[in-house]
Chains A and B, each alone.
Chain A
Amino acid sequence: MLENITTALAILFEPMRLLALFAGMLAGMVFGMLPGLGGVAAVSILLPFIYLMDSYSGLAMLLGAISVIYTADTITSVLLGAPGSPASAPTAIEGHALAKQGKASLALGVGFLASMVGGLFGALILSVAIPIAGPLVLALGTPELFMFALVGLCFAASMVGKDIVVGLAAACFGILLGVVGAAPAAANYRFIFGQSYLMDGLSLPIVALGLFAVAELIGMVAAGGGIASKSMAMGKWGESFREFWRSRWLIVRSSIIGIFGGFVPAVGASASTWIAYGHAMSSTKDKRRFGKGEIRGVAGAEGANNATVISDLVPTMLFSVPGGPAAAIFLGALFSFGFYPGPRMVSETPDLMYMIVWSVALASVMGAALCFAVTPYLARLTRINFALIAAPLLLIMVAGAYQGTQTFGDILALLVLGVIGWLMKNAGWPRAPVLVGFVLATPMEQYFWLTTQIHGFTWLTRPGVLLIASLIVVPMLLNLVRRWRSSKASTSADQAGSQPASDDDAPRDTAVLLLASALLLVTFAYAFYEMLGFRSNARLMPAVGIVPGLALSVYILGRQLNRLRWQGRIIHLGSRQELPVLAGILAYGVAMWLIGFSLATPLLLAWLLLKCAGMRLASAALYGAIVYATAQGMFALMRLTPPSGIWFSLPMPW
Chain B
Amino acid sequence: MFTKTHPLKTLPAAMLVAAGAIAATPALADDFYEGKTIEIVVPFGEGGATYVAAKFLEPFLEKHLPGSPRVDVQTRPGGGSILGANWFEQNAEPDGETILFTTSSTSNPYVLGMEAVEYDLAAMRPAYSLPFGAVIYVSPRTGIDSPAGLKEPDMPLIYGGIAAAASDLPTLLAFELLDLDIQTVLGFDGRGPARLSFERGETNIDFQFTPAYMSQVVDMVEAGSAVPIMTGGSVGEDGVLSARDAAFPDYPSVYEVYEELNGEAPSGVEWDAFQSIGAVTFNYGLTAYLPAGTPDEVLEIFEATIAAINDDPEYQQQSQDAVGGYSLLPASEVTESLSEALQPSDEVREHLRTLLSEEYDVDL
Interface: B321 (CB within 8 A) = yes
Which among A5-13, A321-329, A566-574 touches the partner chain? A321-329
How far, in Å, is B218 (CB) from chain A's closest CB? 8
| Interface bits B75-113 vs A (CB < 8 Å: 1, else 0) | 011111011001100000000000000000000000000
Interface: A524 (CB within 8 A) = no
Which among B24-32, B182-190, B273-281 touches the partner chain? B182-190
The number of chain A residues touching the other chain, given as a range, is 35 or more
Interface: B270 (CB within 8 A) = no
How far, in Å, is A654 (CB) from chain B's closest CB? 9
Query: Within B305-340, which residues are at the interface with A (CB < 8 Å)?
Result: 318, 321-322
Contact in complex: A141, B79 (CB < 8 Å) = no
How far, in Å, is B54 (CB) from chain A's closest CB? 10
Task: Write the chain B residue with the least CB distance to A336.
Answer: B55
Question: In the complex, which residues of chain A have a beta carbon less than 8 angstroms from the beta carbon of B87?
Answer: 406-407
Interface: B200 (CB within 8 A) = yes
Report the separation of the CA atoms of residues A184 and B82 in the bound assembly, to the nearest whole angstrom. Answer: 18
Which among A340-348, A387-395, A645-653 touches the partner chain? A340-348
Task: Write the chain A residue with the least CB distance to B215.
Answer: A340
Interface: A350 (CB within 8 A) = no
How far, in Å, is B39 (CB) from chain A's closest CB? 9
Contact in complex: B192, A332 (CB < 8 Å) = no
Interface: A548 (CB within 8 A) = no
Contact in complex: A328, B361 (CB < 8 Å) = no
Task: Write the chain A residue with the least CB distance to B166.
Answer: A187
Interface: B202 (CB within 8 A) = yes
Query: Within B143-191, which residues are at the interface with A (CB < 8 Å)?
Result: 158, 160, 163-165, 183, 185-190
How far, in Å, is B20 (CB) from chain A's closest CB? 28
How far, in Å, is A268 (CB) from chain B's closest CB? 13
Question: In the complex, which residues of chain B have a beta carbon less than 8 angstroms from the beta carbon of A188?
Answer: 361, 363
Question: In the complex, which residues of chain B have a beta carbon less than 8 angstroms from the beta carbon of A137?
Answer: 196
Interface: B15 (CB within 8 A) = no
How far, in Å, is A198 (CB) from chain B's closest CB? 8
Interface: B48 (CB within 8 A) = yes
Contact in complex: A537, B192 (CB < 8 Å) = no
Question: In the complex, which residues of chain B have a beta carbon less than 8 angstroms from the beta carbon of A406?
Answer: 76, 87
Question: In the complex, which residues of chain B have a beta carbon less than 8 angstroms from the beta carbon of A315?
Answer: 196
Interface: B74 (CB within 8 A) = yes
Interface: B125 (CB within 8 A) = no
Interface: A189 (CB within 8 A) = yes
How far, in Å, is A596 (CB) from chain B's closest CB? 15
Interface: A491 (CB within 8 A) = no
Contact in complex: B77, A321 (CB < 8 Å) = no
Known interface pairs A184-B187, A329-B47; A454-B202 also in contact (CB < 8 Å): yes
Interface: A138 (CB within 8 A) = yes
Known interface pairs A138-B196, A322-B47; A185-B116 also in contact (CB < 8 Å): no
Query: Within A441-456, which residues are at the interface with B (CB < 8 Å)?
Result: 446, 449-450, 453-455
Contact in complex: B55, A182 (CB < 8 Å) = no
Question: In the complex, which residues of chain A have a beta carbon less than 8 angstroms from the beta carbon of B212?
Answer: 320
Task: Write the chain A residue with the least CB distance to B186.
Answer: A185
Question: In the complex, which residues of chain B have a beta carbon less than 8 angstroms from the beta carbon of A199?
Answer: 78-80, 82-83, 116
Contact in complex: A319, B83 (CB < 8 Å) = no
Interface: A500 (CB within 8 A) = no
Interface: A412 (CB within 8 A) = no
Contact in complex: A454, B203 (CB < 8 Å) = yes
| Interface bits B324-364 vs A (CB < 8 Å: 1, else 0) | 00000000000000000000000000000000100011110
Interface: B2 (CB within 8 A) = no
Interface: A404 (CB within 8 A) = yes
Question: In the complex, which residues of chain B have a beta carbon less than 8 angstroms from the beta carbon of A335?
Answer: 47, 52, 55-56, 211, 322
| Interface bits A403-428 vs B (CB < 8 Å: 1, else 0) | 01111000000000000000000000
Question: In the complex, which residues of chain B have a beta carbon less than 8 angstroms from the beta carbon of A138?
Answer: 196, 199-200
Report the separation of the CA atoms of residues A138 and B56 in the bound assembly, to the nearest whole angstrom. Answer: 31
Question: In the complex, which residues of chain A have a beta carbon less than 8 angstroms from the beta carbon of B362?
Answer: 187
Which of B77, B322, B361 has the most chain A CB atoms closer than 10 A to its own CB? B361
Contact in complex: A332, B47 (CB < 8 Å) = yes
Question: In the complex, which residues of chain A have a beta carbon less than 8 angstroms from the beta carbon of B356?
Answer: 187
Question: In the complex, which residues of chain B have a beta carbon less than 8 angstroms from the beta carbon of A515?
Answer: none
Task: Write the chain A residue with the least CB distance to B184.
Answer: A453
Contact in complex: B185, A454 (CB < 8 Å) = yes
Contact in complex: A184, B165 (CB < 8 Å) = no
Interface: A47 (CB within 8 A) = yes
How far, in Å, is A314 (CB) from chain B's closest CB? 12
How far, in Å, is B68 (CB) from chain A's closest CB? 17
Contact in complex: A266, B214 (CB < 8 Å) = no
Task: Write the chain A residue with the least CB distance to B183.
Answer: A453
Contact in complex: B45, A196 (CB < 8 Å) = no
| Interface bits B206-217 vs A (CB < 8 Å: 1, else 0) | 000001101110
Contact in complex: B80, A182 (CB < 8 Å) = yes
Identify 28 residue pairs between A and B in the complex whose beta-carbon atoms are under 8 Å apart, listed by A's number.
A47-B46, A138-B200, A141-B200, A141-B202, A142-B197, A187-B362, A197-B78, A199-B79, A200-B77, A265-B189, A265-B193, A315-B196, A319-B195, A319-B216, A328-B47, A328-B48, A332-B48, A336-B52, A342-B216, A345-B215, A404-B77, A405-B76, A405-B78, A405-B79, A406-B87, A450-B197, A535-B363, A639-B72
Q: Which of B's residues lie within 8 Å of A, judged by CB?
A: 45-48, 51-52, 55-56, 72, 74, 76-80, 82-83, 86-87, 115-116, 158, 160, 163-165, 183, 185-190, 192-193, 195-197, 199-200, 202-203, 211-212, 214-216, 219, 318, 321-322, 356, 360-363
